[in-house]
Amino acid sequence: MKVRVSSLILLIISALFVYSTCTFIRLQYSFYLAAFTYVIVFLWALQSGLLIGSDFLHSPLLKWFFIVLLFSILLYLHGGSYQWVTFFAGYLHIVFWTLCFEIVALNFEDGEREAHLKIHILLMAFWSFATMRAINMYPLASRAMYGNTSMAMDTSFLHSIGCGGYGFIYGLVFISIALFCKLFRREKLGQRRILYIVPIVIFGITIIKAGFTTAIIMLLLSALLLFFYARTEKSSSGMLALFIILIFVLAFYQYFMNLIYIIGDAFGVDIFTEKIGKISSALDASNILQLSRFNYFYKSWTSFLAHPLFGSSEAGIDSQILVQLAYMGIGGISYVGLLHSAFSVMRRYIHKQYINMLEILTLFLTLFNTFNDMNSISVVFFLTPCLMLKGNVNQETDTTNEGIEEYESIPN
Q: Is residue 53 part of a domain?
A: yes
What distance in Å separates the CA atoms of residue 174 and residue 250, rounded to the nearest whole number? 23
Q: Is residue 270 part of a domain?
A: yes
Q: Is residue 412 part of a domain?
A: no
What distance in Å separates the CA atoms of residue 166 and residue 239, rounded to the nearest whole number? 31
On the CB side of 351, CA atoms within 13 Å amount to 28
pTM for this predicted structure: 0.86
Q: Is residue 311 part of a domain?
A: yes
Q: Is residue 372 part of a domain?
A: yes
- Do residues 108 and 10 make contact, with C-beta atoms less than 8 angstroms apart? yes
pLDDT string in tens for the chain (412-residue length): 444 677 888 889 998 999 888 888 765 667 777 788 899 999 988 888 888 888 888 889 999 999 998 888 877 777 666 777 788 889 999 999 999 999 999 988 878 888 889 899 999 999 999 999 999 888 888 888 765 444 445 677 888 888 888 899 999 999 999 998 888 765 555 556 777 888 999 999 999 988 888 888 899 888 888 888 877 777 777 788 888 888 877 777 777 777 877 777 777 777 766 676 666 665 555 566 666 778 888 888 888 998 888 888 788 778 899 999 988 889 889 999 999 999 999 999 998 889 999 999 999 999 988 898 889 999 999 999 999 887 544 434 444 344 333 334 333 3
Extended beta strands in 268-401, E state: none
Number of domains in the chain: 1
Q: For the beta carbon of residue 3, count every other beta carbon within 10 angstroms.
A: 10
- Do residues 294 and 322 make contact, with C-beta atoms less than 8 angstroms apart? no
Q: Is residue 114 part of a domain?
A: yes
pLDDT computed for residue 257 by the predictor: 76
What distance in Å separates the CA atoms of residue 87 and residue 371, rounded to the nearest whole number? 9
Q: Is residue 143 part of a domain?
A: yes
Q: Is residue 225 part of a domain?
A: yes
Which residue range is the domain that position 208 belongs to? 2-407
